[in-house]
Amino acid sequence: MAEIATDIGTALAPWRIAKLPPANGKLFQRQDTKDFIDFKAPTALNEGGGFLMQRWLCKSAVIVLATIGTVLAAGPAKFDGEFVDKKFLNGQGVFEFSVHQSGNALEIAFDAAYSDGHGATPDATGAGEVNGNTAQFTWKDSYRNTGTGTISLAGDDIVVSMKAVHVADPSCLAFYRQNMKLKRIGKSGH
């Protein structure tokens, strides 16, 4: 009978790759009864299954931690969104500002206009970089003015400060100010 147990063990060897033998060192246990021989083998739910479960949990934990690490390294898109001040320039104008953040890089776009339609109506694009709860950017408007700016978080809203560096058309300068509080109106559609 011992030969049968060995042959069965050899035949089942490919399926035992991830299984551990029971504590007594024998994979198969023979129980002689009065009229027959019964073999018991480990299943996924007993001795060998514990090892499989540990391997699965370990691999799953590594995948989850790697995913979390990637997300944290990229950082949340805290600045991403559409912002506006509908009462800009003491209610005389509107200033709209859009931010699209990807990791630490961001793209900005803005436009401004007087509510009654007079004067310059600049629109601009730019790019910048996030550093914690602030971001710095450069911009160029449709009147060929260029400048720099900063964005700071203010709860769900932002505070934007802008400075013209090269002035090609001074009619837009009234729109480029310090500490402009802009309310979030939605996520960026870029």
User: Confidence class of residue 97 from pLDDT cuts 50, 70 and 90?
Assistant: very high
Query: pLDDT tens-digit profile of 40-85?
Result: 555 544 555 555 556 666 666 666 565 555 444 445 568 999 999 9
Q: What is the mean pLDDT of residues 113-142?
A: 96
Provide the pLDDT for residue 190. 45
- Residue 96 sits at φ, ψ, to 5 deg, of -115, 140
For 156, how many CA atoms within 13 A lie in the half-sphere containing its CB? 7
Contact 84, 182 (CB under 8 A): yes
> Which residues have CB under 8 Å from 59's CB, separation 6+?
none
Report the chain's mean pLDDT, rounded to a whole number: 77
Q: How far from the centroid of its chain's Cα atoms is residue 67's Cα?
A: 9
Domains and CATH numbers, the chain: 2-74 (no CATH), 81-186 (2.40.128)
**Residue 31 in this model has a pLDDT that exceeds 80:** no
Residue whose token pair is 């911009």: 139
Residues 173 and 154: their CA atoms lie apart, in Å, by 24
Name the residue among 86, 75, 71 with its Cα closest to residue 184.
86
Query: pLDDT tens-digit profile of 1-10?
Result: 444 444 444 4
pTM over 0.75: no
